[in-house]
Structure 1
Amino acid sequence: MNRKNAKILLIGGDLRQLTAADELKRLGYTVSVCGFGTYAGAEYKDGIHLPDGTDAVLLPVPVFRGEYMNLPFSEERVTPERLSGILRGHTRLVCGGMIPAELSGELEKSGAAVYDLCESDGFNIMNAVPTAEGAAAVAMDNMKITLAGCSAAVIGFGRVGKALCRLLSAMGAHVTAVSRSERDLAGSEACGYIPADHSALPGIAGEQDVIFNTVPHTVVTEEVLAAMKKDAPLIDLASRPGGVDTMVASRLGIRVISALSLPGKVAPVTAGKIIAKCLDKRLREAVL
């Protein structure tokens, strides 16, 4: 697709979207923005509407927070049904994060291509670095000791887990990488981390000054929580419902910090440029 001929509409979201808008304009696209209410410095209209000839729509990451669309700067309450009605038949590509399956299906039936950023390897790999940096910042805000010299366990050795282990190790932490995968355990050991199988978690939890979880299902069970130090923060980076038994953690007095969407909170400019880069690549590959 020729950038000069493509019209993109960005609907709501956080500061990442505004950065993405600026970056897409810089690349040569015609960009409109709505859904930012009276946000200071934003000259954008608040009402959700599609200009004629819109080729692509960029939705927030994630698209929804609970029942309504993720519009933190707007007072509008947009349901999935309303958003579907606005988009169906009026654009050829819809991009966003964690697009509900029902909405995605309705849009595809209307002839639109759907590109979910959260299912893109490129997006997730690039976001791993700001996520890891944000996680380290959360830890430092909630610890009474430095990360340098501390014992830190990272549960899960995927994209975020690897980036976080690398960062923590560079900061001087003694890093234990926890995984069920024999390949990941071998890889973590080759990188200089302490490898530990999931089954060993209850035995090593009490040695950790901070624990990070990246696995999106319950892996931090009552047995693990009971073994933890009471003053060791437990930082859950996994998407909802997370990987921690929060009811048990509350009963045992363990601090669980749910740290979601960190790129948008700690590095919105970097995260916005990542969104723009991924959408630009998708548009250039598309024949719209």
Structure 2
Amino acid sequence: MKQTKRFAVVGSDARQAAAGRALARVGYTVGGVQQLPQADYILLPLPLEQSGLPLAQLLGAAKPGALALGGKVTDGAMTIARAAGVELVDYFARPELTVYNAIPTAEGCIGILLERRSRTLWGAAVLVLGFGPVGRALAVRLAALGARVTVAARRPVQRAMAEELGLQAVPLTELAAAAAAFDTVVNTIPAPVLTAAVLAALPKGCLIVDLASKPGGTDFAAARRLGHTALHALSLPTVWAPETAGEALARTVQTILQEREGRV
């Protein structure tokens, strides 16, 4: 009789809990941190370094040869894992998880816009900075709601892809010149793109939602001085759709394990 592999799910947020339930549904034995000494696999949080977990202590309790999977794994975390005799894999580096996470991120951002705006998104001129997975998922959903979406992107191929979808597109280098036409801006670029000069070109009272990882792409102090509302909206999959985010994480982890076993 084949022995069921055992997962220890570490972390208490709603996404981790949902991932544990999803792994249990496909046949793994799933427990919490108390299962570490017996676990074949350890599911660690995202982002790993900001979770506040005593990583050395946790991995030190794992059985030798266990496989740990965490999100946004740093070199320091890798060193701790090697010292504990545990292999550590970064599931956040998987492109499919980025795509899965873009969906609840886009929906969460739309929820914020609907909550904060006093007018419909239908007919609104919205500027989206960046056209990676999150920018693309957001832009097409905004357009489906009737917004007039313009994408600002650095690479010509990204602008071409936006135009292929019926969106407007401008180069990032022309951001300051284009800014005056928009009272709603969403940034997905983890670099300083909404500088003081660009913010000064926006209409006063502009709503800015920055989805980029810390420190974001917005000069938040300048935005406040200029009378804009600038929000740094992080971890939207966990905040807005933890069940979906957890299931996407579990699916990605399953694929990693199947690849390691030569089953895909």
- Give the C-alpha shift of residue 50 in structure 1: 4.2
Q: Sequence identity, in percent?
A: 34
Distance 1:142 1:91, change over 3 A: farther
- Give the C-alpha shift of residue 250 in structure 1: 2.0
Q: Is the 8 A contact 2:55 2:80 kept in 1?
A: no
Dislocated runs of 4+, deviation >4 Å = none
Aligned twin of 1:136: 110
Q: Is the 8 A contact 2:188 2:212 kept in 1?
A: yes
Distance 1:8 1:98, change over 3 A: same
Distance 1:32 1:173, change over 3 A: same
| Greater CA drift, 8-17 or 110-119 | 110-119
| TM-score, normalised with respect to structure 2 | 0.92
- Give the C-alpha shift of residue 26 in structure 1: 0.8
Once residues 284 and 23 of structure 1 are traced to their aligned partners in structure 2, the CA distance between those partners, rounded to angstroms, is 16
Which residue, 169, 181, 185 being the options, matches 2:159?
185
| Greater CA drift, 12-21 or 24-33 | 12-21
Aligned twin of 1:164: 138
Once residues 241 and 224 of structure 1 are traced to their aligned partners in structure 2, the CA distance between those partners, rounded to angstroms, is 17
Aligned-partner residue type, residue 14 of structure 1: D
Q: Is the 8 A contact 1:9 1:32 kept in 2?
A: yes
Once residues 250 and 206 of structure 1 are traced to their aligned partners in structure 2, the CA distance between those partners, rounded to angstroms, is 17
Once residues 249 and 78 of structure 2 are traced to their aligned partners in structure 1, the CA distance between those partners, rounded to angstroms, is 19
Distance 1:4 1:237, change over 3 A: farther
The reply on whether 1:28 has 2:27 as its aligned counterpart is: yes
CA RMSD of aligned residues (A): 2.1
Q: Is the 8 A contact 1:129 1:163 kept in 2?
A: yes
The reply on whether 1:283 has 2:257 as its aligned counterpart is: yes
Deviation sequence 1:189-217 (CA, Å, 0-9, x none): 11111111011111121211210000111
Q: Would you say how many aligned residue pairs link Structure 1 and Structure 2? A: 262
Q: Is the 8 A contact 2:64 2:85 kept in 1?
A: no
- Give the C-alpha shift of residue 230 in structure 1: 2.3
Correspondence list, 1:111-260, <5 A: 111-260=85-234
Q: Is the 8 A contact 2:48 2:71 kept in 1?
A: yes
Once residues 127 and 205 of structure 2 are traced to their aligned partners in structure 1, the CA distance between those partners, rounded to angstroms, is 15
Which residue, 47, 55, 58 being the options, matches 2:43?
58
| TM-score, normalised with respect to structure 1 | 0.85
Residue aligned with 2:248, SS: helix
Structure 1 unaligned blocks of 5 or more? 35-48, 70-77
Q: Is the 8 A contact 2:56 2:81 kept in 1?
A: no
